[in-house]
Amino acid sequence: MTAKALVVLSGGQDSTTCLYWAIREFGAENVSSVTFDYGQRHRIELDCVRELSALTGIENRVLPIDTFAAIGGDALTDSKIAVCGEVTEKTGLPNTFVAGRNVIFLSYAAAFAYQRGIDNIVTGVAQTDYSGYPDCREETIKALEKTLNLGMDSEFKIHTPLMHLSKRETVELADKLGAMPAMAMTHTCYNGQRPPCGACPSCELRARGFAEAGIEDPLLTAS
């Protein structure tokens, strides 16, 4: 049986790079993607996913999870909190940390994959250079992979091709994979702006990666 892969696609730079990585590794005909509508402030992410799916021809399903917005307390789902990357005193994490997000996303992705006979799940999390989100760490992902396999009596492999790459290396990988036209459609800005604001922590991180790789960000020339 041919190996199939499911990419957790957010419409951002990293998961889009992973989509192209999965196409190379598994073949486009064996790749599909899933996106979570979790009440994120930036609905533009869902538009990006539609554009990326049209460009790549990779099937995408948007699944709803409205619980994070109901819980509140983070800047990405609560419009009363400014998205500035300010560190929350209690947790030492930026206020953009949506507690439990990756754990829940990967659990739902695994349930979706299980029903379709897909064993490979691809996610763009990385523990290098990023905001220090604990659910992006390799240790978390490895433990979750084990839990999901025990819980569903399955043989999922969670692939994290960006885990140990710097932002610069992620940009270089995207370039090598031919993902640059798709980068023009991705969304990164924490302020939900397109063209991007250029000033938020997320825009700054993206700009640094492209600058260090010596590659022009197609998002900036497209918008």
Question: Interface residues with Zn ion (CB under 5 A)?
Answer: 189, 191, 196-197, 200, 203
How far is Cα of residue 166 from the mean position of the Cα atoms in its chain? Answer: 15
CB 194 within 8 A of CB 203: no
Nearer to Zn ion, 79 or 154 (CB): 79
Listed in sequence order, the residues at least 6 apart from 110 whose beta carbon sits closer than 8 Å to its beta carbon are: 121, 148, 152, 154, 156
Q: Minimum distance from CB of 204 to Zn ion (Å)? A: 8
Q: Minimum distance from CB of 123 to Zn ion (Å)? A: 23
Nearer to Zn ion, 43 or 146 (CB): 43
Q: Minimum distance from CB of 14 to Zn ion (Å)? A: 15
Nearer to Zn ion, 185 or 189 (CB): 189
Burial label for 36, CB within 10 Å (0-12, 13-18, 19+), is buried
Nearer to Zn ion, 125 or 203 (CB): 203
Q: Minimum distance from CB of 93 to Zn ion (Å)? A: 19
Q: What is the residue whose two structure tokens read 């399955």?
A: 154
Rounded CA separation 32/65 (Å): 19
Amino acid code (one letter) for 203: C
Q: Minimum distance from CB of 26 to Zn ion (Å)? A: 32
Nearer to Zn ion, 197 or 220 (CB): 197
**Which two structure tokens, joined as six digits, stand for 19?**
């989509």
Amino acid code (one letter) for 48: C
Nearer to Zn ion, 119 or 204 (CB): 204
Q: What is the residue whose two structure tokens read 């659990």?
A: 107
Listed in sequence order, the residues at least 6 apart from 162 whose beta carbon sits closer than 8 Å to its beta carbon are: 14, 17, 18, 124, 125, 126, 170, 173
Q: Minimum distance from CB of 189 to Zn ion (Å)? A: 3
